[in-house]
Amino acid sequence: MRIDIVTVFPEMVEPVIQCSMLARGQQAGSLQIRAADLRQFTHDRHRTTDDTPFGGGAGMVMKPEPFFEAVEHLREEAGWVPARIVVTTPQGRLFNQQMAVEFAQVPHLILLCGHYEGIDERVCQHLATDELSIGDYVLTGGELPALVIADAVSRLVPGVLGNPESLQQDSFVDGLLAPPQYTRPAEYRGYGVPEVLLSGHHANIARWRRLQQLLRTRERRPDLWQKVSLTPEDIKLLREAEQ
Ligand code: 6SD
């Protein structure tokens, strides 16, 4: 899979994509992530990427032409394979794990980063396939949301994570939060570890973990809990826990 992050601040994005899991996926060859400098797709002496808003108002708006030309260049370079072209904005649909799974199946993901007051609406309407938000708060630009999306998608690309089984335990995979985890020492500063995890009884451990997922999701995320479909076994686990 190829991921391009189009930005006026490539130096903000590059260190992140050379680090951690993202670097590993790239070494493994299953993933190619790059920062593309939006200014390379300008044609004037000052390499202008923004201009004043039509209709007046404070701040500047990012011009459409460099984005259109950048996407054309990157898609041509990638051989016009199927692509999703994402603009990150607080006005977008809320990004979630299901979208990450969907994007990980597409060979080319292009993330367009806005700045200032935002991007000319024609980019959003006629170039982007998706407008996404990573949460209800306002950032100074699209680089951090683009990196968040790139990270969430990358770890789902086969060959990026060391242990693909761990994906099954992720929060949100079955609409539930993940259970708590513990490691050695079994007692630290007087704080213990739930006995069942030390028992070696795999069926009991699985049941305990499932119950923790149910309890945490109900307690912490009523929005997710509303959508969970409980199995008869889940109902039994919860009933037993309540007694
Ligand atoms: C002006 C941007 C691009 C400014 C953003 C996205 C989310 N979820 N919060 N803030 C954002 C994206 C802000 O360029």
Render pLDDT for 74-109 as a digit per residue (tens, 0 to 9).
Answer: 999 999 999 999 999 999 999 999 999 999 999 999
Query: How is residue 81 written in tokens?
Result: 């394979």
pLDDT band with cut points at 50, 70 and 90 for residue 165: confident
Best of 130, 138, 144, 147 to mutate for ligand 1, by most ligand atoms within 8 A of CB?
138
Catalytic (active site) residue 155: yes
Catalytic (active site) residue 117: yes
- Whether the per-residue pLDDT at 162 is higher than 80: the answer is no
pLDDT band with cut points at 50, 70 and 90 for residue 229: very high
Catalytic (active site) residue 90: yes
Ligand 1 pocket, residue 137 CB under 6 Å? yes
Q: Which of 2, 155, 209, 210 is catalytic?
A: 155
Q: Residue with the nearest Cα to atom 1 of ligand 1?
A: 115
Catalytic (active site) residue 170: yes
Ligand 1 pocket, residue 136 CB under 6 Å? no
pLDDT of residue 163: 80
pTM attached to this predicted model = 0.96
- Whether the per-residue pLDDT at 61 is higher than 90: the answer is yes
> Which residue from 127, 157, 124 is spatially nearest to 33, judged by alpha carbons?
157
For residue 9, give the DSSP letter. Answer: -
C-alpha 242/C-alpha 221 separation (Å) is 19
Ligand 1 pocket, residue 7 CB under 6 Å? no
Q: How far is the CA of 8 from the centre of ligand 1 (A)?
A: 14
